[in-house]
């Protein structure tokens, strides 16, 4: 993971709604958009924007079934993040 990728990762977490989305998804294997949206007092377009930002940072997986969207955590990116921090530590 490059510095640019780390910056994108943390940029995606620069909003409390996105952090809450990650927290909810960490406690659930997969959720559809409707069920996730029930946890928020935001519009559907705003929610979609947040999900797009999280997907761009590769934090969430999006699975489409017809018109429904299902979201889950991309566990691999968090493993990469851990590895990147270990690499940074060793660069000192």
Contact status, residue 9 vs residue 59, Cβ threshold 8 Å: yes
Per-domain residue ranges of the chain: 3-90
Going by pLDDT thresholds of 50, 70 and 90, the confidence category of residue 50 is very high
- The continuous run of DSSP H or E covering 65 comes out as strand 60-65
pLDDT in the model for residue 78 = 82
Tokens of 84: 């990147």
Instruction: Report the alpha-carbon distance of residue 92 to residue 87 in Å, rounded.
Output: 9
The mean pLDDT of 18-44, rounded to a whole number, is 94
Q: What is the topology classification, in CATH, of domain 3-90? A: Arc Repressor Mutant, subunit A (1.10.10)
Least confident of 24-33, 41-50, 56-65, 75-84: 75-84
Least confident of 50-59, 67-76, 83-92: 83-92
Predicted TM-score (pTM) of the model is 0.83
pLDDT in the model for residue 31 = 96
């Amino acid at each position: 993971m490059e510095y640019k990728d780390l910056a994108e990762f943390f940029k995606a977490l620069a909003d409390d709604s996105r952090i809450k989305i990650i927290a909810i998804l960490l406690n659930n294997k997969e959720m559809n958009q409707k069920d996730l949206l029930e946890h928020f007092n935001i519009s559907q377009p705003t929610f979609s924007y947040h999900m797009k930002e999280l997907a761009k940072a590769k934090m969430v997986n999006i699975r489409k079934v017809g018109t429904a969207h299902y979201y889950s955590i991309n566990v691999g990116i968090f493993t990469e993040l851990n590895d990147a921090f270990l690499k940074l530590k060793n660069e000192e």
